[in-house]
Structure 1
């Protein structure tokens, strides 16, 4: 049985959000990598995270462009991506870019935990 903790890559340009998400996911037993721009996501993906939490509006490449690129590459297409955004049309943007789920900001951390758990378990079936 694999006891290695799941790795989650979090990308958001808001440091307070990154710190909050990292703290709650670490407490839940996940290993968290974080970056603050879309370009860094494309570099950090080499670590092959189990899940990516991706802000839509970031410096460099925006989350939609990053998600589309990840879903086109054979090595990353199966990694689930969840958008995090304050955008009113986050659901539309998530579907359009190929994201697996989304969460509107501001969000309840317990809902984030539930969605993360669901995505990680759905992908491991």
Structure 2
């Protein structure tokens, strides 16, 4: 599948995860944007209008659940698929509570990352 010009935003306060995910996804042809907090999330997302969002659970300031719910309440942003990712054992419940389309448990392998990101892209 050709990912030319598909854009993804990654929200995670772990710089290592950001750099690994960015590297993998850029290799796949994605334009990757990263943020270490979700302050002013509506402005951040609407300025980029990505095809997919990767959302960490423990993200400053408000946390991934509130950040995702904020996006899902916004008329122009609510259809952007969100992949919720966390090391929390309740990841599936957290993702459902947040309103995310799917989830990815940490630690994940890189094939899994590609698979999940591409799966929501096809649906959207």
Identify the TM-score tier after normalising by the shorter chain. over 0.9
Partner of 2:109: 108
Partner of 2:21: 21
- Tell me the C-alpha RMSD between the 2 structures: 1.2
For the pair 1:75 / 2:72, whether they are aligned, the reply is: no
Give distance in 1, aligned partners of 2:121 and 2:41: 19
- In the TM superposition, what are the counterparts of 1:1-125 in structure 2 within 5 Å? 4-39=4-39, 41-46=41-46, 47-123=48-124
- Work out the number of aligned pairs and report it: 121
Gapped regions of structure 2 (runs ≥ 5): none
Question: Taking structure 1 as the reference length, what is the TM-score of the superposition?
Answer: 0.92
Gapped regions of structure 1 (runs ≥ 5): none
Question: Taking structure 2 as the reference length, what is the TM-score of the superposition?
Answer: 0.93
